[in-house]
C-alpha cells in the first residue's frame, strides 16, 4: 500500500487578482505562502513519510512543495519537476480577469471554458515569449521548455488535452513509484490535479465538471498495489 498526496499550490498573486493564470509564472501571495505552510503542518500531523516528490516547472507549485516539505521536516525528499504537471494552458484567456471575461462572454460560456472536459478556450495565435500584465512582464515560454518538442507546446488546453499530456508522466514516473510502495507527494495545479484525479478515481467526463480542488488542502489517497483506491481524504485546518 502506498500513499499519494496531491496538493494544489497555495493562492497565487494572480489567483488573488482573479486573473486566468495558466502557464504564466506567478508567485504565491502572502496568503498562499501561509496555505503552503499549513499544508506541511497537516502532513506532519498525518505522519506520512514521503519517498518521492513531484512538481511542475511553475514557481507557485515548486514554492508550495518546498514550504510544505520544509514545514513537515522532509525537505530532503528527492524531487522531480516536469512541465507535464503544469496548470492547463488557458490560451488567449491568460492574463484576463475572470469576472470581466464573464461580463464579456457570459457566465455560462466562461464556466464551460473553465470546467468542461473537452471545450477548448480561445487559443493563442502563436507562442509568446513574455506577456505584460499590469505593467509587469511574465515569462510565457522560456528556456524551461527548451527540451519540449516544439509541436508539444500548447496554444491553449481543455482538461482532456491536459490529461493527455499529464498521463505519460503519470505512467513513466508516478505510477511506477506507487506500485513499488513509495509514498509520493505531488504539488501542482487546480486543473492538472483535476485531470489526475479523473484518471485515478475514474470520474466521468460529465462529473468532472463538479470537482473543485482547493488551494493548499492536501488530498491523501491510500492506494492498493493495482492503484485502486482504499481510501481518500482531504486535509484542512
Ligand atoms: O490558471 C488559473 O487561473 C487557475 O490556476 C485555475 O483556474 P480555474 O479555476 O479558472 O480553472
Active site residues: 9, 87
**14 appears as a binding residue in the annotation:** yes
Q: How far is the CA of 164 from the centre of ligand 1 (A)?
A: 18
Cell of 4: 499519494
Quote the pLDDT of residue 228: 97
The torsion angles phi and psi of 211, rounded to 5 degrees, stand at: -85, 120
Range of 191's domain?
Answer: 2-234
Ligand 1: nearest atom to the Cα of 14:
3
86 lines ligand 1 (CB under 6 A): no
The half-sphere exposure of 59 on its side-chain side, counting CA atoms within 13 A, is 15
The distance from CA 88 to its chain's CA centroid, rounded to whole angstroms, is 8
Quote the pLDDT of residue 149: 86
**151 appears as a binding residue in the annotation:** no
74 lines ligand 1 (CB under 6 A): no
Query: In 3-state terms, what secondary structure has residue 149?
Result: coil
Mean per-residue pLDDT pooled into runs of 10, the chain (237 residues):
97 98 97 98 98 98 98 98 98 97 97 96 90 90 88 94 98 98 98 98 96 98 97 97
DSSP 35-53: HHHHHHHHHHHHT---SEE
Tell me how far CA of residue 156 lies from CA of 125, 127, 159, in angstroms: 10, 10, 10
Ligand 1: nearest atom to the Cα of 191:
11
Query: In 3-state terms, what secondary structure has residue 95?
Result: coil
95 lines ligand 1 (CB under 6 A): no
Look-up: residue for cell 496568503? 31
Q: How far is the CA of 34 from the centre of ligand 1 (A)?
A: 19
Quote the pLDDT of residue 52: 99
Number of domains within the chain: 1
**98 appears as a binding residue in the annotation:** yes
Quote the pLDDT of residue 140: 84
Q: What is the pTM of this model?
A: 0.97
The closest of 141, 101, 93, 102 to 121, measured between CA atoms, is 93
- Asked whether the ipTM of the predicted complex exceeds the cut of 0.90, the reply is yes
Q: How far is the CA of 15 from the centre of ligand 1 (A)?
A: 8
Quote the pLDDT of residue 102: 97
Quote the pLDDT of residue 1: 86
Q: Residue 56 is part of a domain; what is its CATH number?
A: 3.40.50.1240
DSSP 199-237: HHHT--TTGGGG----BT--EEEEE-TTS-EEEEEE---
Q: How far is the CA of 10 from the centre of ligand 1 (A)?
A: 12
Query: Of 8, 21, 115, 198, which is best to mutate to test ligand 1, by the most ligand atoms within 8 angstroms of its C-beta?
Result: 21
The closest of 165, 164, 196, 195 to 4, measured between CA atoms, is 196
Amino acid at each position: 500500500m502506498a500513499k499519494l498526496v496531491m496538493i494544489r499550490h497555495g493562492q497565487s498573486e494572480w489567483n488573488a487578482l482573479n486573473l486566468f493564470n495558466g502557464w504564466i509564472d506567478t508567485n504565491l501571495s502572502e496568503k498562499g505562502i501561509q496555505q503552503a505552510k499549513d499544508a506541511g503542518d497537516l502532513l506532519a500531523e498525518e505522519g506520512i513519510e514521503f519517498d518521492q516528490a513531484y512538481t511542475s516547472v511553475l514557481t507557485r507549485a515548486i514554492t508550495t512543495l518546498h514550504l510544505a516539505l520544509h514545514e513537515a521536516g522532509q525537505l530532503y525528499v528527492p524531487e522531480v519537476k516536469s512541465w507535464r504537471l503544469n496548470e492547463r494552458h488557458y490560451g488567449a484567456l491568460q492574463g484576463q480577469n475572470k469576472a470581466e471575461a464573464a461580463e464579456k462572454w457570459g457566465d455560462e460560456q466562461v464556466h464551460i471554458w473553465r470546467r468542461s472536459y473537452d471545450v477548448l478556450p480561445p487559443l493563442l495565435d502563436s507562442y509568446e515569449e513574455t506577456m505584460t500584465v499590469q505593467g509587469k512582464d511574465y515569462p510565457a515560454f522560456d528556456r524551461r521548455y527548451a527540451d519540449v518538442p516544439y509541436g508539444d507546446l500548447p496554444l491553449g488546453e481543455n482538461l482532456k488535452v491536459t490529461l493527455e499530456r499529464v498521463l505519460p508522466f503519470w505512467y513513466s514516473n508516478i505510477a511506477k513509484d506507487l506500485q513499488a510502495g513509495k509514498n509520493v507527494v505531488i504539488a501542482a495545479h487546480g486543473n492538472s490535479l483535476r485531470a489526475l484525479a479523473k484518471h485515478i478515481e475514474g470520474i466521468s467526463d460529465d462529473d468532472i465538471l463538479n470537482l473543485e480542488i482547493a488551494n493548499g488542502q492536501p488530498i491523501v489517497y491510500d492506494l492498493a498495489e493495482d492503484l485502486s483506491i482504499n481510501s481518500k481524504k482531504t486535509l484542512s485546518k
